Amino acid sequence: MIKHLLSGADLDADTATEILDTAAEMATVAGREIKKLPALRGRTVVNLFYEDSTRTRISFEAAAKRLSADVINFSAKGSSVTKGESLKDTALTLQAMGADAVVVRHPASGAPHRLANWVDGSVVNAGDGTHEHPTQALLDAYTMRARLGRLAGLSVAVVGDVLHSRVARSNVLLLSTLGAKVTLVGPPTLIPVDIAGALAPAIDVSYDLDSVLPGVDVVMMLRVQRERMNDSYFPSAREYARRYGLDGPRMRRLPEHAIVMHPGPMNRGMEITPEVADSPRSTIVEQVTNGVSVRMAVLYLLLGGNNR
Amino acid sequence: MTAYLITSVSVVGGPPTDLLIRDGLVAEVGPGLSAPDATVVDGTGLVALPGLVDLHTHLREPGREDAETVESGSRAAALGGYTAVCAMANTSPVADTAGVVEQVWRLGREAGLVDVQPIGAVTVGLAGERLAELGAMADSAARVRIFSDDGHCVADPKLMRRALEYVKAFDGIIAQHAEEPRLTEGAQMHEGEVSTRLGLIGWPAVAEEAIIARDVLLAEHVGSRLHVCHVSTAGSVEVLRQAKARGVRVTAEVTPHHLLLTDERAETYDPVFKVNPPLRTAADITALRAALADGVVDVIATDHAPHAVEDKECEWAYARPGMLGLETALSIALDVLGPQWDLIAERMSRTPARIAGLTGHGVDPAPGVPANLTLIDPAARRTIEPAELASRSRNTPYARMTLPGRIVATFLRGEPTVLDGKAIK
């Protein structure tokens, strides 16, 4: 097993599949009366969050606690280069406390890579800047596999602000590794340059959502911040929603079996309408549930729970 | 003054000969010289070049003496084979008045290791709003001729036009940091495959090329001299090539790191590789090397940019851009160009001295010329250890790389500043 989980690229197909299979076993724990395993008893997991992210933090916290690990929540929000402790000093502090794993969320891309240089324990990237969010990609893959029975050969459209999306980068890498076909859809201003060369040569890019929808098994809507219009990525929220938002009529262009995903939090009325978000095709709530199982699997495997 | 007899040395790649240095000048050049009073330096196997001249050095004093001082930077320069450096204006306070440039100039004289020629800011406080007192700096004891807001682009086209025009009165030159600021807001590295993969905001090549294209047209329009700092893209080379073919009075420099390192170095997120303009692609390196050989790019300049440890040992986005260069530039040039000594002398000494108006520098050793020269052992190879550098800072991108060439000695007006590879003071 790998030591750190910093990027979707850290996972080969076998490792990723092992995590998903382990997550499926972990999911059975959630159905029990006592939702707890002793696997990480005596181990310390630190949640180091430099950004507000209640949903990701509590997902990791629940995962660690269900494995009986000791959990320390270290909220460093407001810390920056000018204020507060440096990342290195924080890392040395965590090291001194004997953290076995550090789960880090940080506004700067690459911060988990830097952290991994300074601590002995495992580092799990819980979202870094506009770079990656690998456990989100794992839970998305888990959800697709659970709903559709497979990943190889699936056609997945990832729609929206790919440029600023760490979810998109991790999903492109992981889904490509697992044999799914990814199409990125959005206005050209929000598709980063040289994306295929950067991440996976086999991906497609389309600027036309309507033409893509009939051929996909999964459509994953990304959160789009309304403020992006202030930087001329698109003219207005209304025009964005009209061209790239998923509404009822667009949803009905999808094949019968296709599912709709969203990593949350949603901008209802922007990239997705309530009709779609609350439809039976939507897996949004399942994604949250699956997130805990997948993070249990990641912590369990990274910390060598299977060797003890 | 001590006389020095350098024996069996190759002057700019020529056959072995002797050099006699006396009273600050090269007294004689020729085989079999004898001078009983002279200290003999065995030059066997060594190459003598006119002392290197750096058009682009950050000495950090006044303001960030924790990162570098005029003295420590001068020592690094001498150890790198330099006899003159041009000190950039982005100090604190900014070198935008006669007082500050004279202070830097005087500190350079006191250190006495290289000639420190201050560069003056173009605009007050580098703010890009109104012209600094360029004439006062030109008339000061520092005799400033190069003006630059380096670190910032003079982005306002009207201000750039005025600056180019104004300095004609005293044969000045504007050295532009070519970066369209609206295209590089928040930029962290070269915009391309690697920035997309790493999720770092891209610094597109066009942000440099657009400003160079505008500036060569402005310089042509007003008949002024323009110098382009740290050219980093293949597209910039093409813009410069066309401008030079039309006769525009433009010169350009490239840094050693832009000749050797690519944007893939960012993959580690180690900010020692963060620099502005950013490291580019292999195709850019190929174009820059070709431009250096054919003269479209005139000069290798270091952009020596010392930074304190805490400004680099952090997240990439929070780190300051810049890397050390003075003590490694000649080795990179040798690595990139090979032993083309005349070309190296042209790009690292003669041409920069001419652009900066530094008479007495950039002149090949010959009887009667000031003895500003450096001796290089081209056969030596050395592994770069950050802790062994003379700079106060440690942010070299070449740590643990093995590079060719070693500076054995440097002479400033006949006095050694470096002997046996060690600084004299």
- CATH code at A111? 3.40.50.1370
Contact A65, A43 (CB under 8 A): no
Alpha-carbon gap: B121 to the closest alpha carbon of chain A (Å)? 27
Spell out, as residue ranges, where chain A has pLDDT lower than 70.
77-84, 305-308
DSSP B391: S
For residue B183, which residues of chain A lie inside 8 Å, CB to CB?
Answer: none
Q: Are residues A209 and A230 in the same domain?
A: yes
Q: Is residue A2 part of a domain?
A: no
Q: Are residues A80 and A96 in the same domain?
A: yes
Q: Are residues A242 and A292 in the same domain?
A: no
The three-class DSSP label of residue B316 is helix
Q: Is A205 exposed, middle or buried (0-12, 13-18, 19+ CB in 10 A)?
A: middle
B173-176 and B146-147 as β-strands: parallel, antiparallel, unpaired?
A: parallel
Q: Which residues of A47-61 are buried (b: 16+ CB within 10 A; e: fewer)?
A: bbbbbebeebbebbb
Is residue B90 marked as binding? yes
Q: Considering CB atoms only, which of A110, A132, A194 is closest to B316?
A: A110
- The set of residues, in sequence order, having a beta carbon less than 8 Å from that of B266 and lying 6+ positions away, is B189, B194, B195, B198, B200, B273, B274, B279, B316
Provide the pLDDT for residue A76.
76
Binding site listing of A for carbamoyl phosphate: 55-56, 105, 133, 136, 264-265
Q: Considering CB atoms only, which of A106, A128, A195 is closest to B196?
A: A195
* Interface of chain B toward chain A, CB-CB under 8 angstroms: 188, 191-202, 268-270, 310, 313-318
Q: Are residues A272 and A302 in the same domain?
A: no
Find the radius of gyration of the CA atoms of chain A: 19
Q: Is residue A93 part of a domain?
A: yes
Is residue B113 marked as binding? no
Q: Is residue A3 part of a domain?
A: no
Q: Considering CB atoms only, which of A80, A86, A132 is closest to B199?
A: A132
Determine whether the interchain pair B198/A195 forms a contact, defined as Cβ–Cβ distance below 8 Å: no
Tokens of B198: 């790493």
Provide the pLDDT for residue A29.
86
> Best mutation site among A173, A193, A230 for testing chain B: the one with the most B CBs within 10 Å?
A193
Determine whether the interchain pair B196/A193 forms a contact, defined as Cβ–Cβ distance below 8 Å: yes
For residue A91, which residues of chain B lie inside 8 Å, CB to CB?
Answer: none
Provide the pLDDT for residue B115.
98
Spell out, as residue ranges, where chain B has pLDDT lower than 50.
none
Provide the pLDDT for residue A80.
46
Q: Are residues A120 and A234 in the same domain?
A: no
For residue A123, which residues of chain B lie inside 8 Å, CB to CB?
Answer: none
Q: Is residue A25 part of a domain?
A: yes
Q: Which residue of B has its CA nearest to A132?
A: B199
Q: Are residues A278 and A161 in the same domain?
A: yes
Write down the catalytic residue from B284, B303, B335, B364: B303
Structural domain for A183, as ranges: 134-283
Determine whether the interchain pair B314/A166 forms a contact, defined as Cβ–Cβ distance below 8 Å: no
Q: Are residues A62 and A30 in the same domain?
A: yes
Tell me, yes or no, if B303 is annotated catalytic.
Answer: yes
Binding site listing of A: 55-56, 83, 105, 133, 136, 166, 223, 264-265
Determine whether the interchain pair A193/B313 forms a contact, defined as Cβ–Cβ distance below 8 Å: no
Alpha-carbon gap: A295 to the closest alpha carbon of chain B (Å)? 23
pLDDT tens per residue, range B37-82: 999 999 999 999 999 999 999 999 999 999 999 999 999 999 999 9
Task: Write out the DSSP string of chain A.
Answer: --S-B--GGG--HHHHHHHHHHHHHHHHHHTSSS----TTTT-EEEEEESS--HHHHHHHHHHHHHTT-EEEEEE-TT--SSSS--HHHHHHHHHHTT-SEEEEEESSTTHHHHHHHH-SSEEEEEEETTTB-HHHHHHHHHHHHHHHS--TT-EEEEES--TT-HHHHHHHHHHHHTT-EEEEES-GGGS-TTHHHHT-TT-EEES-HHHHGGG-SEEEEPP--GGGGGGTSSS-HHHHHHHH-B-HHHHTTS-TT-EEE--S---BTTTB-HHHHTSTTB-HHHHHHHHHHHHHHHHHHHTTGGG-
Alpha-carbon gap: A196 to the closest alpha carbon of chain B (Å)? 8
Q: Is residue A293 part of a domain?
A: yes
Q: Is residue A80 part of a domain?
A: yes
Q: Are residues A88 and A206 in the same domain?
A: no
Q: Are residues A152 and A276 in the same domain?
A: yes
DSSP B262: B
Work out how many domains chain A is built from and give that number: 2
Q: Is B171 exposed, middle or buried (0-12, 13-18, 19+ CB in 10 A)?
A: exposed
Determine whether the interchain pair A193/B199 forms a contact, defined as Cβ–Cβ distance below 8 Å: no
For residue A199, which residues of chain B lie inside 8 Å, CB to CB?
Answer: 196-197
For residue B191, which residues of chain A lie inside 8 Å, CB to CB?
Answer: 193
Dihedral sign for Cα A256, A261, A266, A271, please.
negative
Alpha-carbon gap: A223 to the closest alpha carbon of chain B (Å)? 17
Rounded Cα gap, residues A194 and A183, in angstroms: 14
- Residue whose entry in the numeric block shows the structure tokens 């033409």: A211
Q: Which residue of B has its CA nearest to A192?
A: B196
Q: Are residues A160 and A256 in the same domain?
A: yes
Q: Is residue A73 part of a domain?
A: yes
Contact A185, A209 (CB under 8 A): yes
Any chain B CB within 8 A of the CB of A110?
yes
Contact A271, A224 (CB under 8 A): yes
Any chain B CB within 8 A of the CB of A189?
no
Q: Considering CB atoms only, which of B196, B268, B310 is closest to A86?
A: B310
Number of A–B residue contacts, CB under 8 Å: 73
Q: Which value does ipTM take for this structure? A: 0.94
For residue B198, which residues of chain A lie inside 8 Å, CB to CB?
Answer: 109-110, 131
Any chain B CB within 8 A of the CB of A111?
yes
Determine whether the interchain pair B199/A80 forms a contact, defined as Cβ–Cβ distance below 8 Å: no
Task: Select from B302, B320, B198 the least CA-distant residue to B256.
Answer: B302
Determine whether the interchain pair A113/B268 forms a contact, defined as Cβ–Cβ distance below 8 Å: yes
Contact B139, B173 (CB under 8 A): no
Any chain B CB within 8 A of the CB of A192?
yes
Provide the pLDDT for residue A83.
56
Alpha-carbon gap: B271 to the closest alpha carbon of chain A (Å)? 10
Alpha-carbon gap: A25 to the closest alpha carbon of chain B (Å)? 33
> Best mutation site among A80, A109, A173, A233 for testing chain B: the one with the most B CBs within 10 Å?
A109
pLDDT tens per residue, range B377-409: 999 999 999 999 999 999 999 999 999 999 999
Q: Is residue A1 part of a domain?
A: no
Residue A265, preceding bond cis, omega within 30 degrees? yes
Alpha-carbon gap: B314 to the closest alpha carbon of chain A (Å)? 6
Q: Are residues A64 and A167 in the same domain?
A: no
Determine whether the interchain pair B317/A109 forms a contact, defined as Cβ–Cβ distance below 8 Å: yes
Q: Map out the domains of chain B with their CATH numbers.
A: 4-47+368-423 (2.30.40.10), 51-356 (3.20.20.140)
Q: Are residues A79 and A161 in the same domain?
A: no
